[in-house]
Amino acid sequence: MKLSQVRWQTYKDNPADAEIPSHQLMLRAGLIHKAGAGIYNLLPFGLKVVKKIEQIIREEHDKAGCLEVLMSVITPGELWQESGRWQAMGGEMVKMKDKGGRDLCISPTNEEAVTDIFRRLIKSYKDLPITYYQINTKFRDEIRPRFGLMRGREFIMKDAYSFHESKSCLEKTYFQLYNVYSSILNRIGTEFKVVEADAGAMASSDQKTHEFQLLAKTGEDLLVYNEGYAANIEKAKTKRVINDFKFNGGEVEKVSTPDVGKIEEVCKLLGVKPHETLKTLALMGVKGNQVRPVLVVLLGDDELNETKIKNLLNADHVLPATEGELESLKCVRGFIGPFGHPQEMHTIFDAAIDLDAFYIVGANQKDFHLKNFSPKRDTHNFEVADLRRTKDGDIALSNNLPVQITRGIEVGHIFQLGDKYTKAMGVTVLDKTGKAVVPLMGCYGIGVTRLAAAVIEQNHDEKGIIWPESIAPFKVHAVLIGRSDEFRMKAFKIYEQIRERGIEILIDDRDVGPGFKFKDADLLGCPWQLTLGEREFGETGKFKLTNRKTAQIIEASPENLITEIERAINR
């Protein structure tokens, strides 16, 4: 491609609303344009990258025997009524009516649509297992779209759905797709971890599910891992190591702690360690239009894992109690405690708390705490559950080894769904004995556009993007220096020769200075830069191929140039 023929616009400065490198660089390198909040246009070079990712995904799915389909982006409301998700999807799903008054939505995901395809085509166990996939546009009206393509409202997803007669068959396909995902991310050249995940609203929380996480400082997810264990922090099962509790104490005793609401201040004032205090959170579990209060008690230096409390309460969401709610619960902000509540108050102690030890707790009275509170002795009615957030240095329950925490970007997520959708939509197939049985499902998603952004988070420097060869918009970015017509003709001849070999090459033949051109080449980040200057064409001249990532320089004589390029790009 000749750059003079592309209306390519790059920018020197970071756009004001772009906070992370991938968002900044995609805008600066002219890969995308913002069309609206969380909505982007892919420009020619950005689209090239996305198409390459799609191609790798397609090849790996085809290799595993998955069948590509393209489902409609707009789906009829009736399908969602059947599964019960027309209401349950909440505000993320954009709904509309056509002129005949029929309900429609823009697909945020496609379990219903694919189940409808399945039930119309498949009647017998003999046709199972079967896996359909598509690469298509999704729309989710995210509460906080941000970071460009990373969390858009409209985005491209690869979604696959498998159908099975038995749990063991589902399990087999699940791990086959697990391997497909690993191959895709390896072929692209990413650094990733596969972690145990929380099923969220997709399936019941005891079904198997894994996330594929690209490691990056800017990742929104926290990953807990050690040799032999990896989980999203939402799901992580660990225990803490510091447990030197205080076991000698008398009766509950009120102490004055004027203006001291924070745990650190309480510890300083009373001369105790943070884990000798308990922190009590007054929360409201919301399910449909029901709201129920709950007190969650944690060790003073622990934090709440919001996913775990949400799952435990089976709530749509869990919110902190408002001032009014606190008042009706007889709690005072900063001094909330688990002592003295009526019997019916739902109280949950975190599993890290020793129920026989003695702690400082809030007195439910402004400027007072209680000493010598002992959970088992001093609470009528309580539950114990693992609700604390994993911390560095915890020990994984599965292998008793210390864990570390790092950040990741979720680019893929695979689930065993079970019969949730097939059952709700009344789907059956005939088994070997001629009996109608409800098939089981798995579903598997990759955020294609998010993956493009995530790769940049892993591969960039202060000058710009550094694409891995697998998905770079071009393999070679030729920089033409020199203005004479004769020279330009020679350079174009070389460009044509390279192109004829099937090597993707961009030539910067714009009427601007070399400094500007090299800056743009670094910003766009193609793996090899080829300098085509008048000097290189001289008697003793050699061509220079520079690697964008390593700055390695390969020199080649005119006769060897193509061979050297082919060797450089591993062909």
Nearer to Mg ion, 47 or 194 (CB): 194
For residue 161, what are the contacts with CB-CB under 8 A and spacing of at least 6?
Answer: 110, 111, 114, 115, 118, 131, 132, 133, 441, 442, 443, 444
Helix (H) or strand (E) holding 493: helix 485-500
What distance lies between CA 300 and its chain's CA centroid?
A: 30
- Regarding 413 and contact with Mg ion (CB under 5 A), the answer is yes
Nearer to Mg ion, 138 or 413 (CB): 413
Restricted to residues 104-133, the positions that interact with ligand ATP (CB under 6 A) are 109
- Regarding 411 and contact with ligand ATP (CB under 6 A), the answer is yes
445 contact, one of Mg ion, ligand ATP, none, CB 5-8 Å limit per kind: ligand ATP
155 contact, one of Mg ion, ligand ATP, none, CB 5-8 Å limit per kind: ligand ATP
Nearer to Mg ion, 413 or 517 (CB): 413
Among 40, 155, 373, 467, binds ligand ATP (CB under 6 A): 155
Total count of residues recorded for the chain: 571
412 contact, one of Mg ion, ligand ATP, none, CB 5-8 Å limit per kind: ligand ATP
Nearer to Mg ion, 446 or 545 (CB): 446
Say how far apart CA 363 and CA 383 lie, in whole Å. 20
Smallest gap, in angstroms, from Cβ of residue 207 to ligand ATP? Answer: 13
Say how far apart CA 316 and CA 84 lie, in whole Å. 15
225 contact, one of Mg ion, ligand ATP, none, CB 5-8 Å limit per kind: none
Instruction: Judge contact between 471 and 186, C-beta under 8 A.
Output: no
- Regarding 410 and contact with ligand ATP (CB under 6 A), the answer is yes
Crossing angle of helices 44-63 and 167-188, rounded to 10°: 140
Give burial (CB, 10 Å; 0-12/13-18/19+) of 212: buried
Question: Which among 37-45, 399-407, 410-418, 538-546 is the span making contact with Mg ion, rule CB under 5 A?
Answer: 410-418
Among 50, 57, 157, 233, binds ligand ATP (CB under 6 A): 157
Smallest gap, in angstroms, from Cβ of residue 170 to ligand ATP? Answer: 18
Nearer to Mg ion, 234 or 350 (CB): 234
- Regarding 52 and contact with ligand ATP (CB under 6 A), the answer is no
Question: Which among 73-81, 222-230, 323-331, 406-414 is the span making contact with ligand ATP, rule CB under 6 A?
Answer: 406-414
Restricted to residues 433-472, the positions that interact with ligand ATP (CB under 6 A) are 445, 447, 449-450
Among 413, 475, 517, 548, binds ligand ATP (CB under 6 A): 413
For residue 144, what are the contacts with CB-CB under 8 A and spacing of at least 6?
Answer: 151
Give burial (CB, 10 Å; 0-12/13-18/19+) of 56: middle
418 contact, one of ligand ATP, Mg ion, none, CB 5-8 Å limit per kind: none
Three-class secondary structure of residue 95 per DSSP = strand
Nearer to ligand ATP, 152 or 285 (CB): 152
Cα 56 to Cα 182, 350, 399, 410, 467: the distances in Å are: 12, 45, 35, 18, 15
Smallest gap, in angstroms, from Cβ of residue 408 to ligand ATP? Answer: 11
DSSP 390-438: P-TT-EETTT--B-EEEEEEEEEEEEEEETHHHHHTT--EE-TTS-EEP
Instruction: Judge contact between 29 and 464, C-beta under 8 A.
Output: yes
Report the residue number whose CB is nearest to Mg ion: 413
What distance lies between CA 418 and its chain's CA centroid?
A: 23
Question: Which among 147-155, 184-192, 284-292, 342-350 is the span making contact with ligand ATP, rule CB under 6 A?
Answer: 147-155
Say how far apart CA 141 and CA 217 lie, in whole Å. 26
Smallest gap, in angstroms, from Cβ of residue 217 to ligand ATP? Answer: 17
Smallest gap, in angstroms, from Cβ of residue 406 to Mg ion? Answer: 18
Nearer to ligand ATP, 214 or 370 (CB): 214
The structure tokens listed for 72 are 């409609």
Smallest gap, in angstroms, from Cβ of residue 415 to ligand ATP? Answer: 8
Nearer to ligand ATP, 21 or 445 (CB): 445
Report the residue number whose CB is nearest to ligand ATP: 447
Residues in binding contact with ligand ATP, number by CB under 6 A: 15
Instruction: Judge contact between 285 and 292, C-beta under 8 A.
Output: yes
- Amino acid code (one letter) for 253: E
Nearer to Mg ion, 195 or 260 (CB): 195
| Cα Rg of the chain (Å, integer) | 29
Q: Using CB under 6 A as the criterion, which residues of the chain lie in contact with ligand ATP when the complex forms?
A: 109, 140, 142, 151-152, 155, 157, 410-413, 445, 447, 449-450
Q: Using CB under 5 A as the criterion, which residues of the chain lie in contact with Mg ion when the complex forms?
A: 413
